[in-house]
């Protein structure tokens, strides 16, 4: 794995596929604070806990003006099923071929995303914080608290 982007650096250029087939690029992650959290797999125990924790705090994230995106290598179809099953109220993006994960330094040699890594971005798209290891149960609370200080 390459080095993770550091605090104050701009997020590297990337292109992620939205569930509807559209694309979300680095330029779309500006204008307000953004959480970009990478997770290993849809509908697995830890990933479900993490996604549901964000879901349950989305009102607070919205009030704070923070966008949230979940990202994995799963297909848009898998994301749609995962969102519907758990009533997720934020977009899930597909990192086709792991290109973004590789650019960010979180793609393992076996082609899988490293456990869980989150990037908290400033409104101008710079990295405010990097969370290389997170607890699925408490991560959404931790990020929301940290986001108030950037």
**Which residues are tagged catalytic?**
47
Instruction: Provide the angle, in degrees to the nearest 10, between the axes of the packed helices 139-147 and 45-63.
Output: 30
Nearest CA among 147, 116, 115, 141 for reference residue 129: 147
Token readout for 46 is: 């830890």
DSSP 50-96: HHHHHHHHHHHHHHTTEEEEEEESS-HHHHHHHHHHHT--S-EEE-G
3-state helix, strand, coil in the chain (%, to 5): 35, 25, 40
DSSP 127-144: EEEEESS--TTTHHHHHH
């Amino acid at each position: 794995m390459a080095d993770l982007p550091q605090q104050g650096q701009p997020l590297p250029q990337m292109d992620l596929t939205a569930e509807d087939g559209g694309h979300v690029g680095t330029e779309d992650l500006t204008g307000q604070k953004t959480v970009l959290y990478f997770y290993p797999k849809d509908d697995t125990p830890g990933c479900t806990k993490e996604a549901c924790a964000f879901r349950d705090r989305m009102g607070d994230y919205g009030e704070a003006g923070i966008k949230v995106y979940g990202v994995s290598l799963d297909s848009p179809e898998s994301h749609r099923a995962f969102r519907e099953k758990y009533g997720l109220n934020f977009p899930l993006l597909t990192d086709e071929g792991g290109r973004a994960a590789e650019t960010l330094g979180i793609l393992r040699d076996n082609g899988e995303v490293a456990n869980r890594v989150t990037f908290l971005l400033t409104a101008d798209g710079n990295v405010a914080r990097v969370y290389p290891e997170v607890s699925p149960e408490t991560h959404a609370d931790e990020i929301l608290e940290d986001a108030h200080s950037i």
